[in-house]
Chain A
Amino acid sequence: MTIKNWFSHHHEDNVQEDALVPKHYWNSYLVGIGLGITLMLTFVIMGRGLGASGAMSTVVAVTVDEVAPNHTENNEFYKAYLGDGTESPFKDWLVFEVLGVLFGGFISGAIAGRNKFMVEKGPNITKRKRFLFAFVGGSLMGFGAKMARGCTSGQGLSGAGMLSVGGWAFMLAVFIGAYATAYFVRRQWI
């Protein structure tokens, strides 16, 4: 494989709207090395790994706290994300990291000309059904990520990337859960 392949542009990729086509993306192994170095630097600089779902939890905990402060007071899960009250819960490492993720993703998409409004789905499902699936899937993901104390970034990439026992158990479970379900939702994707 040559360097040129890593940045190759396949113009014919865009011809078929419904076909599953990787458009101008970088080679997966190159991206993996880039992500791996990012992860390694995070451990070396901060002594901790990457994350994503933790920032979402902060948003949920703050919202619930705004609506019903007495309710969060008695709940250890919410309290963990609210801090001791001396500082804003949003002054949090993961919150800033996720803001960076949003910015970095946007920049990359903008450079590649990939930022456009669209719905990610297969040709055999309506948009409304896809939105419903997305909501249900997101809910399961949120619930599962909290139970496992991390998502594919925190427990998976970062935990398993440090050979964590829980991280590997988690990753295997993710793939088992997804492969076991794939057949039943195939109309959404293929």
Chain B
Amino acid sequence: MIAPFYKFGMFNSEVSLIVAFVIGISFGFFLERGGFGSGRLLAAQFYFTDMRVFKVMFTAMITNMIGIYYLAYLGVLDLSLVYYGYTFLSADILGGLILGVGFVVGGYCPGTSGVALVTGKIDAIFYTMGGFFGIFVYGEVYPLIKGFVNSSYMGLINIPQLLNVNYGFILFVVILIAIAGFTAVEWGENFMAKKRSEV
């Protein structure tokens, strides 16, 4: 096993910041290419008129899953050294709900608001100021809610571990769900486009 490279000490933390910047460029580039700098296109996801958020995110997740699975299978990547966020189930769900409301009200999420900001979207300035304010409010109320947000801790756990089934099997199921989902949203987009052209 040679990866993750950083965890195997192939470069130090100073170099990792350069790596971060380069990876960030690629991330930001693809977000903008996909139309994720446009609040209207992002919000359209929630009116079924443009499903790019679903398509891009699901494709990206599956691409990553397949790559990671193969690299682990080939013995290149040590999965036990890969960190992908601890699960605190209650806080993940409530935080997700609040964030979802914020998504459709504000038009962006933190990453996409950055892309919107640098491509000249004036509303993204207000969104970003709101983001800072929301984090500040969270910081201020944190002492009061830390009991809740630290509850239902499950550690670093993935779905195959939770269900005690093979990673490859779950991957296969997720790919099937994705194919069904892509087919459905392509049909849905055409349906909505026809409906609008009739009005």
Q: Mark A142-185, 1 if CB is under 8 A from B, else 0.
A: 11111111111111111111111111111111111111111001
Bound complex: CA A135 to CA B130 (Å) = 4
Chain B residue, CB-CB nearest to A177: B100
B188 proximal to A (CB < 8 A): no
Given contacts A52-B110, A107-B25, A117-B122, contact A36 B16 (CB under 8 A): no
Max chain B C-beta neighbours (<10 A), residue from A56, A108, A116, A132: A108
CB distance from B80 to the nearest CB of A (A): 10
Q: Pick the residue among A117, A122, A168, A178 that contacts B120 (CB under 8 A).
A: A117
Bound complex: CA A32 to CA B136 (Å) = 32
Q: Give the A-B contact count at a CB cut-off of 8 A.
A: 546
CB distance from A79 to the nearest CB of B (A): 10
User: Which label, helix, strand, loop or mixed, suits the secondary structure of the B interface?
Assistant: helix
Bound complex: CA A91 to CA B16 (Å) = 10
List of A residues within 8 angstroms of B145 by Cβ: 147
Bound complex: CA A98 to CA B86 (Å) = 22
Bound complex: CA A11 to CA B138 (Å) = 45
List of A residues within 8 angstroms of B91 by Cβ: 147-149
Query: Is the beta-carbon distance between A101 and B31 smaller than 8 angstroms?
Result: yes
List of B residues within 8 angstroms of A43 by Cβ: 4, 64, 68, 77, 82, 84
Given contacts A32-B63, A77-B139, contact A153 B33 (CB under 8 A): no
Count of chain B residues with Cβ under 8 Å from any Cβ of A? 129
Q: Which residues of chain A from 74 to 105 have any CB-CB distance to chain B below 8 Å in the complex?
A: 75-78, 91, 93-105
List of B residues within 8 angstroms of A32 by Cβ: 34, 55-60, 62-63
Query: Is the beta-carbon distance between A101 and B33 smaller than 8 angstroms?
Result: no
Query: Is the beta-carbon distance between A45 and B159 smaller than 8 angstroms?
Result: no
B146 proximal to A (CB < 8 A): yes
Given contacts A119-B122, A141-B99, contact A149 B88 (CB under 8 A): yes
Q: Pick the residue among B67, B77, B115, B158 that contacts A37 (CB under 8 A).
A: B67
**A to B CB contacts below 8 Å, 16 in the list:** A22-B35, A35-B31, A38-B23, A45-B19, A77-B138, A104-B32, A105-B29, A122-B40, A137-B102, A139-B134, A141-B106, A148-B94, A152-B111, A163-B174, A165-B89, A166-B87
